[in-house]
């Protein structure tokens, strides 16, 4: 029986080659795109879920009140972790965590590695399997160090790294460390990433901050015991807050801050580890948003939906060609159930062939997909029993729903009505039109999203950021030399080059450099009996000139004034914080005896991403704090030559350090990676949605033209022009596109308006975005159906009237 069904299905599909081919092409593209997009979505959702103790691990974040409202931070002071572990019940394990870079050397090899400074509980909390060396507590001693397999291979080749002694450059000095273990390479879906792990107590600023509660610069992770609920953590930490943050709370009250709903001015809460990759800080609140991966999965479903709509519409539209076949089968004794399974088998066969082709396309295009979408996905992400079962159930349901609906309609037909071959299925056109409206609504929604996202990206790329981003190269000063000495040597090496205009340095980069590192430093100080918070930046001479920052008051740091090392240059936002008529009378105080006077004010510039408002920032000079990045301003001509000159000069100064230079406009563009990814994804989805919609539209128009061939001939005989007939055949489709536009536009406006609220600097949501998407969809639909309709309208009426 099944064999007979398959044989009949195969013959029927071959008989209608054009529609079978269109169905297979549409479904194959949809399945291929859906598999790739699903991989990306599930990959993002899989972050940090590989840890065996993941359900019990939490990240600590603090919430405090100040006169401007609530503030949130995930950075903490050195004493917090040991105090929590000692005083708060239910804490099974705890570790601090700080990511930096450190130079590891062995023999002649010197490599700059990403280090995680952690405590001894780290490897028993997180699942980073030890492949060689000490399995239990590999960081038991402060002199222990743990490498990943990749870094062990780089340093030692095929030799066993365990037991070897390497040198690590910490606080400007080489110190020996013993390799106690080698762990497997860190999974791509891990929020914590490192190449080497070392004890937190060995970090350069540990000793000076060992009792400093307000010097917050690292994260804290806790593993709760089974009898400890996350909600119990806040009440359990209130006593230690009242003791250790009493001064801060008192200052908040004095400055007019309002308590939260519990009457608290400072508290700690916990963030589940599996939420860490989806956290963002906005308006003083911590938000967990998984909208990105769910948007990817949603687009995958929409693409599949459009392809399935095509299949239903073409199957139902072709039903008129199979009425006599159905009547004959019923006359010969075929039951309704048998007819249903026959037609459903045809659908199933098309779906299985399309799924196979789609899977092949996904394998073929995987590398290009990873490059375009900047993702590290692999088929391992979806090759889990749960996801395989999900896909299997999804395919079965899709074939039952999509293939079963036309099969059910055809199997319900009566014998005599089918034999006449003239019956119209009840509601056929309404179902077809409704599905086409939904199909084009989705396409218009995605087109609108593409236009708005691209405009917002262009706006951010072209916005005046307040500094020169086209002519300035920045690079990390990785090496063993003192950063200030290295910068002076760089100035000396490039002194005779006329294309090198300015050289400076700072302890932070603008945007994301090639090293991918980003950080910020914020501190608060007392000023006239109130607390002011500011970002601070350690800089060297010529920083303002190198970046072309605009000086609006006072002066820049100058080599002619030795006192400038105790001065500060601020931005306009910081000047407003002081509230002085003349900001040059203000000062920053580190304690009662040390005050840094304001010597200059620069115009506000965007030193953070464009999804943040411009915050107060203070620039200081102090050789007690190292510089991490060099900035070199080059002449607008010979830019490539100047870049090579900088690279060559740095190679002479630090021959073992990798040069990771990039222009600031490149750095700024990297801050838009999330928006770029979403834009690329929606653009790709729009293209696929339009192509699939056009395939369905072309097939339906082909069937309708075939069904109305005689009508076309009669109309031509009585004098209808080609234009009149073409309009007659296309107007119904254009009405559907118009209805789709009216439905999609308000939905698109709501979604885009909500998305733009994430940006303090954004475009205006003009009506032209929606009109352009509607016009584009209309033009594409018109071009799709016009070729066939114009050909039919131009055909000889005698030939049309002879058509049976």
DSSP 547-613: HTPPEEEE----TT-GGGGG-EEEEHHHHHHHT-SSGGG-EEESSSS-EEEEEEEE-----S-TTSP
Range 243-249 average pLDDT? 89
Relative to beta strand 219-224, strand 91-106 is: antiparallel
Percentage of residues of the chain with pLDDT beyond 90: 38
The tens digit of pLDDT for each residue in 565-621 reads 888 999 999 999 998 999 999 999 876 667 889 999 999 999 988 888 899 999 999
DSSP 422-434: ----TTHHHHHHH
Task: Assess contact for 531 and 66: CB atoms under 8 A.
Answer: yes
CA distances from 423 to 321, 419, 426, 711, 803 (A): 11, 9, 9, 18, 19
Predicted local confidence at residue 526, as pLDDT: 85
Give one word for 25, left, alpha or beta, with left for phi > 0 and alpha for psi -120 to 50. Answer: alpha
Where b means 16+ CB within 10 Å and e means fewer, 119-154 reads bbbbbbbbbbebebbbeeebbeeeebbbbbeebbeb
Quick count: other Cβ atoms within 10 Å of Cβ 590?
A: 11
Task: With a cut of 90, say whether residue 519 has pLDDT above it.
Answer: no
Q: What value, to the nearest 5°, has the Cα angle with vertex 747 and ends 741 and 749?
A: 95
Provide the residue ranges of all domains of the chain, joining segments of one domain with +. 479-659
CA dihedral angle for residue 250, residue 252, residue 258, residue 260, rounded to 10 degrees: -80
Poorest-confidence range of 311-325, 606-620, 734-748?
311-325
Range 519-542 average pLDDT? 86
Task: With a cut of 60, say whether residue 147 has pLDDT above it.
Answer: yes
Task: With a cut of 50, say whether residue 425 has pLDDT above it.
Answer: no
Locus of tokens 């009242």: 242
Alpha carbons 628 and 617: distance in angstroms, whole number: 18
Q: Report CA 479 to chain centroid distance, whole Å.
A: 32
Task: With a cut of 60, say whether residue 427 has pLDDT above it.
Answer: no
The tens digit of pLDDT for each residue in 742-761 reads 999 999 999 999 888 888 88
Relative to beta strand 91-106, strand 109-118 is: antiparallel
Task: Assess contact for 305 and 442: CB atoms under 8 A.
Answer: yes
Alpha carbons 214 and 426: distance in angstroms, whole number: 74
Range 502-520 average pLDDT? 86
Relative to beta strand 595-602, strand 587-589 is: antiparallel
First to last CA, the chain: 34
Task: With a cut of 70, say whether residue 785 has pLDDT above it.
Answer: yes
Predicted local confidence at residue 281, as pLDDT: 75
Predicted local confidence at residue 585, as pLDDT: 92
The tens digit of pLDDT for each residue in 165-177 reads 999 988 878 899 9
Range 435-448 average pLDDT? 86
Range 50-68 average pLDDT? 92
Confidence of residue 332 (pLDDT cuts 50, 70, 90): low
Q: Which long-range contacts (CB under 8 A, 24 or more apart) does 4-7 make?
A: 5/341, 5/342, 5/345, 6/345, 6/349
Task: With a cut of 70, say whether residue 334 has pLDDT above it.
Answer: no
DSSP state at residue 164:
-
Spatial neighbors of 671 by CB under 8 A, at least 6 apart, are 511, 512, 609, 610
Range 504-512 average pLDDT? 91
Task: Assess contact for 118 and 139: CB atoms under 8 A.
Answer: yes
Range 59-86 average pLDDT? 91
The tens digit of pLDDT for each residue in 529-538 reads 888 889 889 9
Task: With a cut of 80, say whether residue 661 has pLDDT above it.
Answer: yes
CA dihedral angle for residue 78, residue 80, residue 83, residue 86, rounded to 10 degrees: -100
Range 691-702 average pLDDT? 76
Predicted local confidence at residue 409, as pLDDT: 62
Mean pLDDT of the chain: 84
Residues in the chain: 804
pTM to 2 decimal places? 0.83
Highest mean pLDDT among 15-24, 64-73, 689-698: 64-73
Poorest-confidence range of 6-10, 182-186, 213-217, 247-251?
6-10
Question: What six digits make up the tokens of 586?
Answer: 């203000």
CA distances from 38 to 25, 34, 379, 684 (A): 20, 6, 10, 14
Task: With a cut of 70, say whether residue 402 has pLDDT above it.
Answer: no
Task: With a cut of 50, say whether residue 304 has pLDDT above it.
Answer: yes
């Amino acid at each position: 029986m099944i064999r007979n069904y398959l044989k009949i299905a195969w013959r029927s599909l071959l008989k209608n080659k054009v529609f079978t081919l269109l169905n297979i092409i549409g479904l194959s593209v949809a399945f291929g795109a859906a598999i790739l997009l699903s991989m990306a979505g599930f990959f993002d959702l899989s972050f940090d879920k590989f840890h065996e103790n993941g359900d019990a691990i939490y990240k600590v974040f603090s919430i405090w009140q100040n006169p401007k409202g609530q503030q949130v931070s995930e950075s903490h002071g050195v004493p917090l972790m040991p105090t929590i572990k000692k005083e708060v019940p239910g804490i099974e394990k705890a570790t601090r965590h700080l990511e930096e870079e450190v130079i590891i050397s062995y023999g002649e090899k010197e490599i700059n590695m990403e280090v995680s400074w952690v405590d001894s509980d780290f490897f028993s909390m997180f699942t980073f399997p030890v492949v060689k060396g000490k399995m239990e507590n590999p960081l038991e001693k402060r002199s222990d160090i743990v490498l990943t397999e990749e870094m062990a291979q780089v340093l030692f080749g095929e030799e066993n790294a365990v037991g070897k002694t390497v040198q690590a450059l910490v606080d400007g000095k080489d110190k020996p460390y013993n390799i106690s273990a080698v762990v497997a390479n860190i999974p791509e879906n891990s929020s914590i990433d490192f190449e080497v792990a070392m004890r937190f107590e060995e970090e350069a600023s540990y000793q000076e901050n060992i009792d400093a509660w307000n010097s917050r610069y690292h994260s804290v992770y806790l593993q709760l015991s089974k009898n400890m609920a996350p909600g119990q953590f806040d009440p359990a930490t209130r006593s230690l807050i009242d003791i250790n943050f009493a001064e801060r709370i008192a200052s908040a009250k004095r400055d007019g801050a309002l308590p939260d709903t519990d009457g608290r001015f400072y508290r700690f809460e916990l963030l589940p580890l599996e939420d860490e990759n989806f956290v963002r800080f906005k308006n003083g609140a911590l938000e967990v948003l998984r909208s990105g991966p769910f948007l990817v999965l949603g687009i995958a479903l929409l693409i599949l939906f459009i392809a399935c709509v095509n299949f239903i519409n073409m199957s139902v539209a072709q039903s008129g060609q199979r009425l006599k076949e159905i009547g004959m089968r019923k006359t010969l004794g075929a039951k309704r159930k048998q007819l249903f399974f026959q037609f459903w088998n045809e659908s199933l066969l098309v779906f299985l062939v399309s799924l196979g082709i789609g899977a092949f396309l996904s394998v073929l295009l995987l590398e290009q997909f990873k490059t375009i979408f900047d993702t590290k996905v692999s088929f391992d992400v979806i090759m889990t029993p749960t996801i395989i079962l999900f896909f299997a159930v999804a395919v079965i349901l899709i074939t039952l729903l999509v293939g079963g609906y036309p099969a059910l309609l055809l199997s319900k037909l009566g014998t005599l009505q089918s034999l006449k071959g003239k019956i119209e299925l009840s509601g056929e056109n309404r179902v077809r039109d409704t599905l086409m409206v939904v199909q084009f609504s989705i396409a218009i929604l995605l087109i609108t999203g593409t236009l708005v996202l691209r405009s917002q990206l262009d706006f951010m790329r072209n916005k005046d950021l307040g500094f020169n981003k086209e002519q300035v190269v920045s690079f990390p000063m990785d090496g063993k030399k003192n950063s200030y000495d290295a910068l002076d040597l760089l100035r000396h090496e490039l002194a005779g080059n006329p294309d090198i205009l300015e050289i400076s340095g700072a302890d932070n980069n603008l945007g994301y450099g090639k090293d991918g590192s980003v950080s910020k430093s914020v501190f608060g100080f007392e000023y006239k009996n109130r607390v002011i918070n500011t970002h601070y930046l350690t800089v060297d001479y010529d920083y303002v000139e190198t970046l072309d920052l605009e000086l609006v008051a006072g002066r820049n740091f100058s080599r002619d004034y030795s006192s400038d090392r105790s001065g500060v240059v601020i931005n306009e936002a910081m000047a407003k914080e002081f509230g002085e008529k003349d900001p040059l009378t203000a000062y920053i105080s580190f304690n009662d005896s040390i005050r840094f006077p304001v010597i200059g004010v620069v115009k506000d510039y965007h030193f953070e991403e464009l999804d943040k408002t411009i915050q107060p920032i203070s620039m200081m000079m102090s050789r007690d704090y190292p510089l991490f990045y060099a900035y070199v301003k080059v002449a607008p001509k010979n830019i490539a030559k100047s870049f090579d000159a900088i690279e060559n000069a740095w190679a002479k100064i630090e021959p073992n350090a990798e040069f990771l230079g990039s222009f600031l406009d490149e750095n700024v563009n990297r801050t838009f990676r999330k928006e770029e990814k979403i834009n690329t994804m929606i653009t790709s989805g729009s293209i696929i949605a339009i192509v699939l919609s056009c395939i369905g539209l072309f097939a339906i128009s082909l069937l309708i033209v075939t069904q109305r061939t005689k009508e076309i001939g009669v109309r031509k005989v009585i004098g209808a022009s080609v234009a009149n007939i073409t309009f007659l055949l296309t107007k119904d489709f254009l009405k559907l596109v118009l209805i789709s536009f009216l439905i999609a536009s308000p939905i698109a406006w709501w979604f885009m308006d909500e998305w733009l609220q994430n940006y303090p600097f954004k475009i205006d949501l003009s009506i032209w975005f929606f009109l352009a998407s509607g016009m584009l969809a209309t033009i594409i639909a018109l071009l799709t159906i016009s070729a066939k309709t114009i050909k039919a309208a131009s055909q000889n009426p005698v030939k049309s009237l002879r058509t049976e």
